[in-house]
Amino acid sequence: MMDKTLRQWIVQVIRQHESMLRIAIRQRAKFEGWLKFELAAIAEINGATVVEVETSSDQSESRTRADLSFVYEEKKYDVELKTPNSNWRMAGVINAHRPITKNIFGVIQDTLKLRISSKNGLVAFVLFPIASDDNQWKEYIQRIAFETQLPLTAQDNCERISVSLGERDKADLIVCVFSVLQADH
């Protein structure tokens, strides 16, 4: 259930910083670096210990680094975090060609990396910007599920958040979190 807790923490951070995120969304600027420190702080506030950013994973033979790690309820978790931006045109957001397919491939790679390097690996990503009436993003969740062979669904693993971009425009962010479900641990 740590995946749902982590998703709640990310949603909390986003809601607390909507005015700052408005700028990132309008420019399609990734905000992973900022988010990992905010998430580390929220984790600590909520009782996580040994909170570290960019730390070695829990498997000593592995040279990989997790974006965030912490101990919560006596279990160590390693988190890979991404903020993939979309390339869909929408009002209030600059038109820029961003390779969403490449960004989703990064989520898949992080998932496969955590399967090898962590007993309790979690992948978290915030997909943005998404038009309020657009559900095309669900295809990418299906692709991640297929490529990783994990039982992911938009309903179970994601939450949609709407952010005002100004007087009339708004955009959505999709927060998704899932466990890498290591079968051999």
Residues 53, 67 contacting (CB under 8 angstroms): yes
pTM: 0.91
pLDDT tens track for 44-71: 999 999 999 997 655 545 557 899 999 9
**Encoding tokens for residue 45?**
């506030």
Tell me, what's the pLDDT at 130?
A: 95
Q: What is the mean pLDDT of the chain?
A: 91
Tell me, what's the pLDDT at 184?
A: 44
Q: What is the mean pLDDT of residues 1-8?
A: 97
- Is residue 161 pLDDT above 60, yes or no? yes
H-only helix segments in the chain: 2-16, 18-27, 32-45, 100-117, 138-148, 154-157
Q: How confident is the model at residue 98 (pLDDT cuts 50, 70, 90)?
A: low
Tell me, what's the pLDDT at 59?
A: 52
**Encoding tokens for residue 14?**
């986003």
